[in-house]
Amino acid sequence: MAARKLSSVLSRSLSLSPALRSSSFLRSLASGSSVSGNSCTSRYSTSAAVEELITPPIEVTYTKNLINGHFVDAASGKTFPTYDPRSGEVLAHVAEGDAEDIDRAVAAARKAFDEGPWPKMTAYERSRVLLRFADLVEKHNDEISALESWNNGKPFEQAAKAEVPMLARLFRYYAGWADKIHGLTVPADGNYHVQTLHEPIGVAGQIIPWNFPLLMFAWKVGPALACGNTIVLKTAEQTPLTALYVGRLLLEAGLPPGVLNIVSGFGPTAGAALASHMDVDKLAFTGSTNTGKIVLELAARSNLKPVTLELGGKSPFIVCEDADIDHAVELAHFALFFNQGQCCCAGSRTFVHESVYDEFTEKAKARALNRIVGDPFKKGVEQGPQIDSEQFKKILKYIKSGVESNATLECGGERFGSKGYFIQPTVFSNVQDDMLIAQEEIFGPVQTILKFKEIDEVIRRANASKYGLAAGVFTKNIDTANTLTRALRAGTVWVNCFDVFDAAIPFGGYKMSGIGREKGIYSLSNYLQVKAVVTALKKPAWL
């Protein structure tokens, strides 16, 4: 499958592959045919679309921890509920891993690395396992997508057309890297032969977030496995189900027992135990900046394991005076509202030039009012619920802060419907830099529109943030684009596009948005040790 940018994949005009079009399962979900009562998709102005919910025709099968190739109960016997964010009702009870389960998982990963076949297997054989897994992901696209949407609340069409296919694409990408990881022959002064070896780092601990469970699984597990490492992965407690499901598919693809271990549990118990474990060789974390600080501290206090962090953001989206306003409005809308606004790189500070500010604001308001909110299993729905009650309340608190700080509430600002965690698409204008809604990561469907006059001014204001994950630039002028892309202190700058996540494009942040890069060739270095081997030569024929 050719790499596709996410923004194109999510276009309403994109058709499903022939295999997916033929699936009665997919058709029934997308049409809403299994719901009783009024199944028509509604827009922002009515809450009918969240009162009658479709029940996906799938069963939640994998709810236990995956340790050493087996699905097992937590050592304590405890479980915790995971919820359907559309209703707040319990979806399943999942094994609650804690420090003892992490110990067992790390022991299995250590044995699999020190004694098992995975790091000793030829790189070509490792590549074949990852390719078989990608095939299985495509075969089970329907079930994986439904489970992702059910546990997370993201639109089913988004999961089925973009995210699950991208999961397969990312694993094919890293399968291609498996047999292309090699060192160098290095010239040195004197009679010495010098070479570098790139070796797997060992047991990798990985902690993934709830907003993109499958994609974050791929970003971390793919390169770690390609390099020959073993893994202990902790899922987000809100969304444990799909990682367990695809973990089973990796075993089916031929991954040896103990190479990938998955523990579901909470941050202060399972997460802290993994971050501070003395037998974990490397740690990767995606989540909030505050939690990232804790993870880094625990890693340092234990065995000083190297850490990569992909953290928060407050990304500027800059609309210049020469912009095609209709196009800019749509792109800025996508940059913020995609995935219910629950995206670390969301274009959450929309800077608009003063000459087009009023027109942009009116059209941004109209687009938000026209956004289709409802049951994510209904065809055409653009926005589902927020992940849980905690995030729901946090977003409403930020909206209240915006109103109290005298930003202009153009639309939205309230819950949507009477159950679940739906929030109206919300737009604020006349936002000032010192307002909380312009400084802190809201992680919800709240667009803040700020006015600027000069390029130097907007550069200074855009960079005046503790974050530096991403930025967007919308202009027809190549000189303006070049100036902004070099001046903005962010790990990714999208020009006349946004949220393009090709497997080969590195992703990561400046400043307090993180350490290191994921995806692409750069992610491989996270999971490799470089060893210099120096051999003395006697009577060499040449140097």
Q: Name which of 326, 279, 361, 305 is nearest 474 in CA terms.
A: 326
Q: pLDDT tens for residues 160-169?
A: 999 999 999 9
pLDDT in tens, 78-128: 999 999 999 999 999 999 999 999 999 999 999 999 998 999 999 999 999
The rounded mean pLDDT for the chain is 92
In this model, does residue 8 exceed pLDDT 90? Answer: no
Split at pLDDT 50, 70, 90, the class of 542 is confident
How far is the C-alpha of 242 from the C-alpha of 138, rounded, in Å? 14
- Beta strands in 169-259, from DSSP E residues, in sequence order: 185-186, 192-200, 203-207, 230-235
CA–CA separation, 410 and 412 (whole Å): 7
pLDDT at residue 9, as a whole number: 45
Residue 50 has pLDDT above 90, yes or no: no
Q: Are 383 and 425 spatial neighbours (Cβ–Cβ below 8 Å)?
A: yes
Q: In terms of pTM, does the model score above 0.75?
A: yes
The residue extents of the domains of the chain are 65-311+518-529, 316-503
Q: Tell me if 307 sits within 8 A of 284, measured CB to CB.
A: yes
- pLDDT on residue 18: 36
Q: Residue 26 has what pLDDT?
A: 54
Smallest CA-to-CA distance from 309 within 301, 300, 317 is with: 300
pLDDT over 90 at 31, yes or no: no
Do 65-311+518-529 and 316-503 share a fold? no
* Separation CA 213–CA 387 (nearest Å): 12
What is the C-alpha radius of gyration for the chain, rounded to an integer number of angstroms?
24
Q: How many Cβ atoms are within 10 Å of 12's Cβ, its own excluded? A: 10
Q: Give just the sign of the alpha carbon dihedral 457, 461, 462, 468.
A: positive
The per-residue pLDDT for range 175-211, each reduced to its tens digit, is 999 999 999 999 999 999 999 999 999 999 999 999 9
Active site residue 390: no
Tokens read off for 525: 């270095």
The residue assigned the tokens 């936002």 is 431
| Residue keyed to tokens 């027109």 | 359
Residue showing tokens 């060992």: 202
Assess contact for 66 and 260: CB atoms under 8 A. Answer: yes
Task: Tell me the CA distances in angstroms from 166 to 162, 314, 442, 492, one per residue in order.
Answer: 6, 25, 26, 19
Q: How far, in Å, CA of 164 to CA of 215, rounded?
A: 8
Helices 141-152 + 24-31 axis angle, to 10: 30
As a whole number of angstroms, the distance between CA 193 and CA 215 comes to 42
Kindly give, in sequence order, each residue whose CB lies less than 8 Å from that of residue 354, ignoring residues fewer than 6 positions away. Answer: 451, 452, 453
Say what the pLDDT of residue 27 is.
54
Q: What is the mean predicted confidence (pLDDT) over 364-368?
A: 98
Residue 276 CB contacts under 8 Å (≥ 6 apart), including other chains = 298, 299, 301, 302
Assign domain 316-503 to its CATH superfamily: Aldehyde Dehydrogenase; Chain A, domain 2 (3.40.309.10)
Compute the average pLDDT of residues 379-398. Answer: 97
Alpha-carbon distances of 476 from 6, 131, 320, 356, 496, rounded to whole Å = 22, 41, 8, 14, 8
**Looking at residues 389-401, what average pLDDT do you find?**
98
CB count within 10 Å of CB 296 equals 16
**Main-chain dihedrals φ then ψ at residue 147, nearest 5 degrees:** -65, -40
Higher pLDDT, 264 or 8: 264
Choice among 96, 163, 310, 382 that is catalytic? 310
Tokens of 155: 């639109």
Q: What is the pLDDT of residue 102?
A: 98
Diameter of the chain measured on Cα atoms: 88
Domain 65-311+518-529 has CATH 3.40.30.10: no
Q: Is 515 helix (H, G, I), strand (E, B) or coil?
A: strand
Instruction: Please answer whether residues 456 and 410 qualify as being in contact, where contact means their C-beta atoms are separated by less than 8 angstroms.
Output: no
Tokens found for residue 94: 């999942």
CA angle 323/327/331 to nearest 5° reads 105
Q: Is the pLDDT of residue 16 over 70?
A: no
The residue type found at 256 is P
The dihedral built from the CA positions of residue 176, 177, 182 and 183, taken in this order, carries a sign that is positive
Asked if residues 441 and 348 have their Cβ atoms less than 8 Å apart, the reply is yes
φ, ψ dihedrals at 34, nearest 5°: -95, 5
Within 13 A of 509's CA, how many CA atoms are on the CB side?
Answer: 27
Per-residue pLDDT tens over the stretch 430-469: 999 999 999 999 999 999 999 999 999 999 999 999 999 9
Q: What is the pLDDT of residues 300-318, one digit of tens each?
A: 999 999 999 999 999 999 9
